[in-house]
Chain A
């Protein structure tokens, strides 16, 4: 993420009081700071899109697979990040690209092309989500994200998404569009989706197991290289045709999700 920011062309702010050099680093432009503020809002755990009710498969893994300490949790997060996280990054990047393309076209043509590309992405994501339980969860989270996004960053293309018939689109596809409406470039949409694939389970671990939140967050910080790799990989794949997007699977997460849904008492919806 930081590489991308550092490589982007800089415009020095017009306000001379803002040009103070912090440790030799020039300030980013006001526009990029505004964009960063929107990104921080979007991926804040308190963003009202319903993510807090889901553990990303962690609740089942903790109970059945003895993922109960930082070491086993690190492996779980790595596995999740490089499978479902990569797929989410690629689809979020791709739908964010579609958003950008459509936003530059006239309304009529842009909206039609946008709906068509999202439908193709949605069908491909469906084929990469074999668990019916996780398909329902992903669409529900997608709807909740669109509901929040259309109020927070109003945009005609987000409205277009809200108007789609049926159960709405899968979460990563909605995420790419809402990220676009929040002014994010596709590479950041992809990286943020990768990051979100592990912050959910990490937060859940603190609530479920009472793991030390400092240690859990230190682990998330250690995984920054992996998040960057997966975000960059997802973005690199994002311009491929939807059929060629990554399909890396979390086999045990899928099987566990089907079993978890039958539990009578559970703290998280998935």
Chain B
């Protein structure tokens, strides 16, 4: 199945001087169904210093099972000047093999303009047995844009070995690379389960935060098991975590992220 979804967010000033984010274009197709929602922003977003900007919230609802082998999914998102988008999945994705062993592929391309803010939470990707999948995500930020991007992966369902799964995430800010890492597991990635890559953990995830007004990182933080907070640049921070399962992964990422906020 080929699915190509598009979401463009702009902004406008109300008569009261409030900046309101607006959906300028929204196209769903096939497995990628976009649904605007009315949700409460996570409390920590207040620390991002975007007062008065009313966000747009959109959830990605799976219009079909999968991704299944053979699927080609493409999501293109633009967040305009000063606009604020919270985009997330409605549920976890179970990445499954196709009937004839074809590969599946997801391409995500997001740009955020000057002063724009994006909370990107594509949800847990579960690499099921015999899957053969590649995800490439590129997030291109203008100078002064803000980003919270959280990716979580489960290496197989319970008691199951994962198939071949690759996921690359690249973040660019003001034309310069900030973060570019690819996870490759399963056959075709020798040693993926070793102490160099996943060390027999069943789940791993990252949070990339880019904030032009970020406070200095706290000198010392409470240690969270198998988790590190890494400074990528003056404006960008990475939280990287491994865990025995997806539930514990979520806890570890939250704990490390809250540790950052507590000292900010």
Chain A interface residues toward B at CB < 8 A: 57, 61, 64-65, 67, 72, 75-84, 123-124, 126-128, 130-132, 226, 243, 246-256, 258-259
Contacts and interface: CB of A to CB of B under 8 A. Distances in A.
B228 A79 contact: no
Contact of A130 (B190, B198, B232): B232
Interface in B165-183: 168, 170-171, 176-183
Contacts of B47: none
Nearest to B227: A255
Contacts of B41: none
Interface string B206-244: 000000000000000000001110111000001011100
Which 9 A-B pairs have CB atoms at the shortest separation, nearest pair first? A79-B191, A78-B191, A79-B196, A65-B195, A127-B177, A75-B194, A79-B194, A61-B195, A249-B181
B180 A252 contact: no
A128 B191 contact: no
B184 interface: yes
A124 to B, nearest CB: 5
B184 A79 contact: no
A247 to B, nearest CB: 4
B204 A251 contact: yes
Contacts, number: 120
Contacts of B178: 127
B18 to A, nearest CB: 36
B252 to A, nearest CB: 11
B178, B190, B238 interface centre (most CB from chain A within 10 Å): B190
B13 to A, nearest CB: 36
B218 to A, nearest CB: 14
The binding surface of chain B is classed by DSSP as strand
B193 interface: yes
B179, B193, B240 interface centre (most CB from chain A within 10 Å): B240
A166 to B, nearest CB: 14
A210 to B, nearest CB: 19
B189, B195, B231, B232 interface centre (most CB from chain A within 10 Å): B195
Contacts of B183: 249, 251
A252 B198 contact: yes
A215 B231 CA distance: 39
Given A72-B194, A76-B191, A130 B238 contact: yes
A76 B176 contact: no
B189, B193, B228 interface centre (most CB from chain A within 10 Å): B228
Contacts of A79: 190-197
Contacts of B196: 57, 61, 75-80, 83-84, 250, 252-253
Contact of B190 (A82, A246, A258): A82
Given A82-B189, A82-B190, A247-B168, A126 B230 contact: no
Given A82-B192, A255-B242, 13 more contacts: A67-B195, A72-B195, A76-B196, A79-B191, A80-B191, A80-B194, A81-B191, A127-B232, A130-B179, A243-B170, A247-B182, A251-B197, A252-B201
A254 B195 CA distance: 11
A123 B176 CA distance: 7
B178 to A, nearest CB: 6
A75 B199 CA distance: 10
A126 to B, nearest CB: 7
Given A247-B168, A258-B228, A127 B179 contact: yes
Nearest to A131: B230
B180, B198, B238 interface centre (most CB from chain A within 10 Å): B180
